[in-house]
Chains A and B, each alone.
Chain A
Amino acid sequence: MPIHMPSSEPIKIKIDTEDDIVSVRQRVRSLAQESGFDPFAIAAITTSASELSRNVWRHATSGMAEIQVLREGERIGLQLEVSDQGPGIADLQRALAGGYSTVKSLGLGLSGTRRLVDEFHIDTAPGRGTKVTIRKWKRGF
């Protein structure tokens, strides 16, 4: 994944409880607003943050969210990295296709999120935990 220069210190939020999902969501929302994203983009990144955090809370014992503002020349972006030491996703292809149907299904959340953001990267394997990194860039002008 291309490297972009961060423009500030990353904000770390633990994801252990259900309320942490809301915390992550609120932080992402306010950062997106401060960075001047339009309402549609704010909704997209905030909803994605909620989906990813909930996946962690539901499928892993605990995890971490790292939010960061990125600068690439004149472009401003928001990066969210959600990681956990959970069981990992066995059939990633299926999960991303949206066809995963375990109880409290994981699938639609991940594939749905992918469609909301500009960059989506997932690093996972059974027993190795999961790390999802998403980026949303502020639209042209």
Chain B
Amino acid sequence: MSASIPILKIGANLLATVQIELSDTVSDAFQQDVLTTIEKTGASGLVVDISALDTVDSYVAGMLANTGKMARLMGTETVVVGMRPEVAATLVRMGYMLEGVNTALSLEEGLAHLARTAAKRQGR
């Protein structure tokens, strides 16, 4: 396994922290790794931490959005956390609003969001 982006299991959730420069191939491999791991572990939530990224172009933005959609089909809720101010500004200026992607300020907030979603799902 390429494991260039480590994916950790925290309870019922997965945490993937992106800390390397993303080429298109690495992006694709990451998406593949995430989905395979979801399938293997049956995780109900996924947090993608992009706080180390100072550049998110259309390809990465698309990859994040699609990964969220694919994960949801498998029953997993995704949250992208830690986006930098300059990344958010650039995406929005380009026209990428990433509407379908859940976001949170930090890992803590992200996990809280996943907990709320999981609770709702169980009809509590």
Contact = CB atoms under 8 A, between A and B. Distances in A.
Whether the complex brings A and B within 8 Å at their CB atoms is answered yes
Interface of A: 18-19, 21-22, 25-26, 29, 39-40, 42-44, 46-47, 50-51, 54, 98, 108-109, 111-113, 115-116
A42 B86 contact: yes
Given A112-B96, A113-B94, A115-B94, A43 B55 contact: yes
B58 A25 contact: no
Nearest to B89: A40
Main secondary structure of the interface of B (DSSP, over half): helix
Interface residues of B, number: 20
A36 to B, nearest CB: 15
B56 A47 contact: yes
Given A22-B23, A43-B54, A108-B94, 15 more contacts: A25-B55, A39-B84, A43-B86, A43-B87, A44-B90, A44-B93, A46-B54, A47-B56, A50-B57, A51-B58, A54-B24, A54-B57, A54-B59, A111-B95, A116-B93
Given A18-B23, A21-B24, A39-B86, A115 B93 contact: yes
Main secondary structure of the interface of A (DSSP, over half): helix
Interface of B: 21, 23-25, 54-59, 84-87, 89-90, 93-96
Contacts of A22: 21, 23
B21 A47 contact: no
B21 A26 contact: yes
A72 to B, nearest CB: 24
A115 B24 contact: no
Contacts of A18: 23-25
A47 B55 contact: yes
A19 B24 CA distance: 9
